[in-house]
Chain A
Amino acid sequence: MSTVPAKAPAPETHQGGFPWSHVAGYLLSLVLTIGAFALVFHAKLSFHETLFVILFLAVLQILVQLLFFMHVTERHGPSYHMMMFGLAMFFVFVIVGASIWIMSFGSMVS
């Protein structure tokens, strides 16, 4: 990795400043959580509609954590860690999605 020239953003090495992006990330994560909570307890959507929306909010939570706290946009060479993240999401899709599909297949046809 050291052979690749650093493509770092403006290095965060100075004193002072306020961690605005961290506060923004925290507020976003709170809003997403309260939104999911309100949807389940107060909205009048069907089970599947609610499930779909709260899963979507959970995916947005992943993005908030990755972008605001896990520094994924910082690049010090090729973004191998994003390839790994893509691989992880593929695993999740295959294991969880395919398990649900296979295990519910019998009950769907019968």
Chain B
Amino acid sequence: MSIAHSGLQHHVDEPLQTGVPLEFSTEDGATKILGFWLFMVTDVLLFACLFATYVVLYKHIGAGASAAKLFGDDVSGFTAETFILLTSSFTCGLATYEMRHGSHSRLKLWIVITMLLGLSFIGLEVYEFSTFVSHGDTMSTSAFLSAFFTLVGTHGAHVSLGIIWMGLILYQISRRGVNPVTARKLFIVSLYWHFLDVVWVFIFTVVYLTGVM
């Protein structure tokens, strides 16, 4: 692709490949989706480091609360967070499904529902964190709590970014409709969202369930 074509409208010049979903129909779209898989590999690296740190440090509680006490007192919070995020992954998948099957009003509805579920997840997490801090369990209390807040907080920051990102793409789809560029953008943000769900399943398993065992 020449530099002259690298403006906002460059996809128009490319031949459309037929028989594949819209987001894969241009070389530009397919390459960017592949590039996003590469990004997810590097993000897996980030989370792997944080998980390794957590697993190594989670028994080093010093004078602070243990994982069993911190998470075992009230399991409803993280249980609700888990089911909310699983459901949002499903509704996000439905948005991609509707994008491919031509119902663009339902596509927008599923994106809005996904964003609302994401917001309620973040709300619960903020409430959980503030409850811990108000009980004196802060990030600087112990190595366990440093690792916990860093790991879970990094995931929460990813989800927050995902909600903003999804809102911007919803705006673009409202303005420009579904074309190879917006379809590719929605497909990529949905990959990101499912990826965050996978990371949460491991936080749920390794941090919370292992903590209360």
Contact = CB atoms under 8 A, between A and B. Distances in A.
Chains A and B are bound partners: yes
Given A2-B27, A85-B37, A22 B101 contact: no
Given A26-B86, A29-B89, A84-B37, A65 B30 contact: no
- Which of A8, A36, A74, A88 has the most C-beta atoms of chain B within 10 angstroms of its own C-beta? A88
Interface string A50-64: 110011011001100
B44 interface: yes
B37 A16 contact: no
B97 A22 contact: yes
Interface of B: 17, 19-21, 24, 27, 30-31, 33-34, 37-38, 40-41, 44-45, 48-49, 51-53, 55-56, 79, 82-83, 86-87, 89-90, 92-94, 96-97, 100-103, 190-191, 194-195, 197-198, 201-202, 204-206, 209-210, 212-213
Contacts of B97: 12, 19, 22
Given A12-B100, A100-B52, A61 B201 contact: yes
B79 A37 contact: yes
Nearest to B200: A61
Contact of B87 (A26, A76, A96): A26
Contact of B48 (A19, A41, A47, A95): A95
A50 B52 contact: no
Interface residues on A, range: 35 or more
A50 B204 CA distance: 14
A99 B49 CA distance: 9
Nearest to A80: B34
A66 B92 CA distance: 14
Given A13-B100, A26-B86, A76-B24, A70 B194 contact: yes
A103 interface: yes
Interface of A: 1-2, 6, 8, 11-17, 19, 22-23, 25-26, 29-30, 33, 36-37, 40-41, 47, 50-51, 54-55, 57-58, 61-62, 65, 68-71, 74, 76-77, 80-81, 84-85, 87-88, 91-92, 95-96, 99-100, 103-104
A51 B210 contact: yes
A15 B101 contact: yes
A46 to B, nearest CB: 10
A103 B194 contact: no
Contact of A33 (B86, B96, B210): B86
Contacts of A55: 205-206
A26 B85 CA distance: 11
A58 B201 contact: yes
A17 B205 contact: no
A32 B204 CA distance: 12
Contacts of A88: 40-41, 44-45
Contacts of A47: 213
5 contacts: A36-B209, A40-B209, A68-B93, A70-B191, A92-B44
